[in-house]
């Protein structure tokens, strides 16, 4: 929980509840019905899935919602209880979920990554666009740090928009700008997603990092949909 303490404190002030853990749970943490769809996965994957669902239930409890199964949709997305939106992320050694009431937020997207896990050059060619490559080159010694940030932001953006448009985003759909302030990011849509989410629209979010982890979160509130 140590890494997640600070972002949890800051997000709760925005009525977003974050629960994270570094302890892998057993599959007994799964509720009836949640095992469907992952029975063919290896035990490690099942435990990661169970840990994510454990985080979800802890976060839902902060909203006053009793424990219940959170099932998977056709694309593997979480099916949230009525009146709730949220997001789940995990990597080896870190597992987390955020939730909020959907009368305040239309959608939320998060991602957690290990700062020491390298992104291959071939993968970066898929992730980065021309503008991002240019500003990373200018970042010099900090370019590796920002490579991971861009990747995390794009993963978060994909989770942010999927519940709304029911379509997975490609990396090219989003352009990430250089952070103007530590802990904040901005990204732009490069194509129309719907009548509400048009090409050229900009969105912002927060990132939190230490020597081991980087965590990104972005949300669309009804007060500000871009």
Same domain, 135 and 56: no
Residue 28 within any structural domain of the chain: yes
Same domain, 44 and 26: yes
**Structural domains in the chain (count):** 2
Same domain, 120 and 206: yes
Rg value, the chain, Cα: 17
Same domain, 161 and 98: no
**Cα distances (angstroms) measured from residue 31 to each of 5, 84, 106:** 26, 18, 26
Q: Which domain holds residue 30?
A: 5-103
**Degrees (nearest 5) of the Cα angle 101, 36, 103?**
10
**Whole-number Å distance between alpha carbons of 71 and 86:** 13
**CATH, residue 14:** 3.90.470.20
**Whole-number Å distance between alpha carbons of 216 and 7:** 10
* Helix, strand, or coil (residue 171): helix
pLDDT per residue rounded down to tens, the chain (226 residues): 689 999 999 999 999 999 999 999 999 999 988 988 788 899 999 999 999 999 999 999 999 999 899 999 988 899 999 999 999 999 999 999 999 999 999 999 999 999 998 889 899 999 999 999 999 988 887 888 899 999 999 999 999 999 999 999 999 999 999 998 889 999 999 999 999 999 999 999 999 999 999 999 999 998 655 4
Residue 159 within any structural domain of the chain: yes
Same domain, 93 and 157: no
| Among candidate residues 70, 103, 136, the one where a domain is terminated | 103
**Degrees (nearest 5) of the Cα angle 138, 156, 14?**
105
Specify the pLDDT at position 3. 96
Name the pTM for this structure: 0.94
In this structure, the number of other CB atoms found within 10 A of the CB of residue 87 comes to: 28
Same domain, 135 and 76: no
* Helix, strand, or coil (residue 102): coil
Do 84 and 72 form a contact (C-beta atoms < 8 A)? no
Same domain, 207 and 133: yes
**Whole-number Å distance between alpha carbons of 178 and 185:** 7
């Amino acid at each position: 929980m140590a890494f997640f303490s600070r972002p949890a404190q800051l997000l709760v002030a925005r009525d977003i509840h974050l629960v994270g853990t570094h302890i892998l749970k057993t599959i007994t943490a799964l509720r009836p019905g949640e095992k469907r769809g992952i029975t063919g996965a290896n035990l490690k994957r099942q435990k990661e899935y169970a840990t994510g669902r454990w985080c979800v239930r802890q976060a839902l409890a902060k909203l006053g919602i009793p424990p219940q199964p959170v099932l998977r949709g056709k694309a593997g997305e979480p099916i949230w209880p009525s009146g709730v939106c949220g997001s789940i992320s995990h990597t080896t050694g870190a597992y987390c979920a955020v939730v909020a009431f959907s009368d305040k937020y239309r959608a939320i997207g998060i991602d957690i990554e290990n700062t020491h896990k390298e992104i291959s050059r071939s993968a970066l060619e898929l992730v980065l666009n021309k503008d991002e490559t240019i500003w990373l080159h200018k970042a010099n010694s900090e370019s590796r740090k920002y490579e991971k940030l861009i990747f995390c932001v794009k993963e978060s953006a994909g989770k942010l928009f999927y519940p709304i448009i029911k379509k997975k985003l490609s990396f090219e759909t989003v352009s990430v700008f250089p952070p103007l302030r530590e802990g904040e990011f901005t990204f732009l849509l490069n194509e129309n997603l719907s009548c509400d989410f048009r090409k050229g629209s900009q969105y912002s979010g927060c990132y939190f990092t230490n020597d081991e982890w980087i965590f990104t979160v972005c949300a669309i509130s009804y007060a500000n949909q871009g």
